[in-house]
Structure 1
Amino acid sequence: MQPRNMSMRGVVDLAAVKAAGDAAQKAEQARAERARQTAAGGVPPVPLSVVLDVTEETFEAEVVQRSAEAPVVVDFWAEWCGPCKQLSPILERLAEEYEGRFVLAKIDVDANQMLAGQFGIQSIPSVMAVVAGQLVPLFQGAVNEAQARQYLDQLILVAEQRFGIVGGAVGEGRPEEAGAAAEAPEDPTLSAAHEALDRGDLGGAIQAYRNVLADRPSDEEAKLGLAQAELLQRVQDKDPQAVRAAAAGDPKDVQAQLDAADLDLVGGHVEDAFGRLVDTVGRTAGDDRDRARLRLLDLFEVIGAEDPRVAKARSALARVLF
């Protein structure tokens, strides 16, 4: 569930703000400085809010920049939406309880239609996250508190393990953890692959990840990066309207369904992408069925085997196959 750079048509161009690595480095320096001032007897830092009402004007500062210090969960909602009124209080309560391990950004889709359009929001509530400037799809529709905790715990783990982003007590630095991260530099070959992906050099990123996997076939981070880079390369020149029209016009057109599933995933509609491909597997045979099945497995790699939506889709795939 942790794409590094899902900035394609229909999704906010997060990569255009600043390099995520630079933002993360500045955030670490700021946290360390706040901690140093506090330890030296200075004025304690002003606590930062963990629940924000975000607009198109404040999105960059309150979501993209804040995402270098802690995962930012983005809740798209509207006043007239009944399920939103069920979900939003749960997310707000958990944001306070988690004390800065994630920040909740609430976006009213009626007041911020451009943002909703850029994210490809088609139904609400719809929840995504931004980590180190990168878009991470979470879930659509209302979920209960236990399910929300599961998604949030997974997001926090991903933010730390994949991006080195560790939130903490609101307004407090965590210099000992920042120091530990600095003492464990990333593998230079893998770092080069990540940098190629972040700057949009998809061909270079794909080759770099393949080089890593040639030496370390079991490297999970390289597998994830390769799956993401290949997905972005597949969709970069696609016309979303034309692809969706082709897929809707002919459900038996396997290539159209594959292309539409890719766009679904890039737009954060994970379950739609999985469901489309499961249905395609179910209605096809032979080589066409195998193409759809393999593409679904590729998308599982992008999202991550631990994601509950992957487990659900695997079960659905098994039902149509056997």
Structure 2
Amino acid sequence: MTNAPLGGANLRGAVDLSSLVRPPAPAPAPGAHEPGSSSTTAGGVVRSATDATFTEVLDLSSTVPVIVEFFGQGVEASLTEFVPQYGGRIALVTVDATTNPQLVQAFQVQQVPTVAAVVGGRPVQLFTGTLAEQDLRDVMEQVLQLAAQNNVTGSIAVSVDATAEAEPLEEPLPPHHQEAYDALANGDFPTAIKAYETAIAQNPRDSLAVAGLAQISLLSRLDGVSPDEVHGKAAADPTNVDIQLVVADLDVAGGNLDDAFARLLDLFPTLDAEGKNRIRTRILDYFEIAGADDERVAAARRRLTLLLY
């Protein structure tokens, strides 16, 4: 068992998953529920999710903190009776790690059970294995404290059917966005990439397609990658651009955006024109993934500009 206490953790160390495939939810209409209010939302406290439906979980995490438990390989989810004890202040989502490779990659699941949280669309690693009940309650209290710090203090109705899934609330996606979403759900990265490229060709200002393309491309590049093997190669050959780019991808996928920027920007001055262009292009992709309002993006953009000029 590995336990990672939250302590004074904040959410800026994690990559925002909320735009992974679908655009962010529209602003609530006047009088509708807003994150942080005390009103309830439909759907059970306990539900299951897949690669294709996880966007609903991200939306829910703006109302209440969501515990995500990965199970599989003969290991059953163990928190389905524990989380409802919090009366709708915390939700639980169970994910079968054997059939949802995108979520396994995004949460860096190495074994089951693995338990994480999502607060305001951002992931927080919690622990692997199982905890004693008191330790588990301590972790839940830390999650609630973190949620309160980020104004995620709503509640959801405790339904009779605790495993009921939430009704989809998203607006229909544009055709090429939907095509990319469906392809990703099937693990078909080339088709998803082509769909976003087509959307961008039709509308170069489609910022959601640009961000989606950057994110899908990242997942595609990391498909089948062994982190331990890559990190070993990177340590042995610190000037190899190909290997350092893969390590940077792993950093971004794990929420370590600062590490990815530092790695590539430190390498940048030592490279020829072709190498510098590859680094610059990849960093621009990371800008799209993280979003322009991310403080780490602003700092990296300033440093890249200084290196270029």
For residue 262 of structure 2, the aligned residue among 271, 275, 284 is 275
* Residues 188-246 of structure 1: CA deviation (Å, up to 9, x unaligned): 32112122123211001001111111111111111111111111222213332332222
Amino acid at match of 1:95: A
CA distance in 2, matches of 1:252, 1:239: 20
For residue 49 of structure 1, the aligned residue among 65, 69, 89 is 89
SS of alignment partner, residue 217 of structure 1: coil
For residue 172 of structure 2, the aligned residue among 185, 189, 195 is 185
* Residues 149-185 of structure 1: CA deviation (Å, up to 9, x unaligned): xxxxxxxxxxxxxxxxxxxx31359xxxx99956x42
**Given that residues 243 and 260 in structure 1 are in contact (C-alpha distance below 8 angstroms), is that contact kept between their aligned partners in structure 2?**
yes
**Given that residues 224 and 301 in structure 1 are in contact (C-alpha distance below 8 angstroms), is that contact kept between their aligned partners in structure 2?**
yes
TM-score, with structure 2 as normaliser: 0.55
* Residues 28-48 of structure 1: CA deviation (Å, up to 9, x unaligned): 9xx9xxxxxxxxxxxxxx832
- Name 1:320's counterpart in structure 2: 307
Q: CA RMSD in A?
A: 4.2
Cα deviation for residue 285 of structure 1 reads 2.9
CA distance in 1, matches of 2:278, 2:55: 39
Matched, 1:197 2:184: yes
Q: Per the alignment, do residues 284 and 98 of structure 1 end up closer, same or farther by CA in structure 2, a change over 3 Å counting?
A: closer
Q: Per the alignment, do residues 267 and 180 of structure 1 end up closer, same or farther by CA in structure 2, a change over 3 Å counting?
A: closer
Matched, 1:231 2:192: no
- Name 2:56's counterpart in structure 1: 24
Q: Per the alignment, do residues 233 and 179 of structure 1 end up closer, same or farther by CA in structure 2, a change over 3 Å counting?
A: closer
* Equivalent pairs, count: 208
- Name 1:137's counterpart in structure 2: none
For residue 95 of structure 1, the aligned residue among 138, 144, 147 is 147
**Given that residues 214 and 289 in structure 2 are in contact (C-alpha distance below 8 angstroms), is that contact kept between their aligned partners in structure 1?**
yes
**Given that residues 19 and 198 in structure 1 are in contact (C-alpha distance below 8 angstroms), is that contact kept between their aligned partners in structure 2?**
yes
**Given that residues 274 and 296 in structure 1 are in contact (C-alpha distance below 8 angstroms), is that contact kept between their aligned partners in structure 2?**
yes
- Name 2:106's counterpart in structure 1: none
- Name 1:311's counterpart in structure 2: 298
Matched, 1:74 2:130: no
CA distance in 2, matches of 1:195, 1:294: 27
- Name 1:124's counterpart in structure 2: none
- Alignment of structure 1 residues 235-246 onto 2, 5 Å: 235-246=222-233
CA distance in 2, matches of 1:291, 1:214: 22
Cα deviation for residue 277 of structure 1 reads 0.7
Q: Per the alignment, do residues 217 and 246 of structure 1 end up closer, same or farther by CA in structure 2, a change over 3 Å counting?
A: same
* Residues 246-285 of structure 1: CA deviation (Å, up to 9, x unaligned): 2212222111211221122122221111111111112223
SS of alignment partner, residue 185 of structure 1: coil
Q: Per the alignment, do residues 205 and 172 of structure 1 end up closer, same or farther by CA in structure 2, a change over 3 Å counting?
A: same
SS of alignment partner, residue 74 of structure 1: strand
Amino acid at match of 1:245: G
Cα deviation for residue 319 of structure 1 reads 2.9
Cα deviation for residue 75 of structure 1 reads 4.9
Amino acid at match of 2:124: V
Matched, 1:4 2:20: yes
CA distance in 2, matches of 1:307, 1:320: 20
- Name 1:171's counterpart in structure 2: 156
Amino acid at match of 2:20: R
Amino acid at match of 2:148: E
SS of alignment partner, residue 319 of structure 1: helix
CA distance in 2, matches of 1:243, 1:180: 39
CA distance in 2, matches of 1:179, 1:19: 16
The structure 1 segments of at least 4 consecutive aligned residues displaced by more than 6 Å after TM superposition are 88-91
Amino acid at match of 2:278: R
Identity over the aligned pairs, expressed in percent? 33
For residue 264 of structure 1, the aligned residue among 251, 256, 275 is 251
Q: Per the alignment, do residues 290 and 72 of structure 1 end up closer, same or farther by CA in structure 2, a change over 3 Å counting?
A: closer
Gaps of 5+ in 1: 6-15, 32-45, 78-87, 103-168
- Name 1:125's counterpart in structure 2: none
**Given that residues 249 and 260 in structure 2 are in contact (C-alpha distance below 8 angstroms), is that contact kept between their aligned partners in structure 1?**
yes
Amino acid at match of 2:261: F
CA distance in 2, matches of 1:289, 1:258: 12
For residue 294 of structure 1, the aligned residue among 264, 272, 281 is 281
Q: Per the alignment, do residues 70 and 231 of structure 1 end up closer, same or farther by CA in structure 2, a change over 3 Å counting?
A: closer
Gaps of 5+ in 2: 1-15, 22-47, 64-85, 95-111, 128-139, 159-165
